[in-house]
Structure 1
């Protein structure tokens, strides 16, 4: 059985480090952060980095605050 690729977001900032779901495609991961960034920013998340298999896959994204 082959393992599916794992994509997830490293979320920085805030007091209670939120955890992103794990996704099987980069598209799904990017869609999730695109839909969730306002709620994440409201929880104090200031930056998100997309990880693939635990390694950074993209440059960090700064989330607008306020």
Structure 2
């Protein structure tokens, strides 16, 4: 049985995908979204400006802006 894979692609201000920090791979969209909600601040501090949710390698939702207040 192949499990679905959900992961976040993190982009910098120029729109290039960051190789670091890495995000976990999830088997449920809910878990991926919950993780981002808990870690978005640290990701933004590490240089991520935008997060794109990928489902089995395909963008599955509109991107999320990671802005510090």
Same fold (TM > 0.5): yes
Would you tell me which structure has more strand in proportion to its own residues?
A: 1
The two structures, once aligned, show a CA RMSD in angstroms of: 1.7
Pair 1:10-2:9 in alignment: yes
- The number of aligned residues is 65
Q: 1:38 aligns with which of 24, 37, 41?
A: 41
What secondary structure, in the 3-state scheme, does the structure 1 residue paired with 2:49 have?
strand
1:61 alignment counterpart: 64
1:22 alignment counterpart: 25
Q: Normalization by structure 2: what TM-score?
A: 0.85
Q: Deviations over 1:16-61 (max 9, x none)?
A: 6322100000000000000000000111100000000000000111
Gaps of 5+ in 2: none
Checking the alignment, whether the CA contact within 8 Å between 1:6 and 1:23 is kept in structure 2 is yes
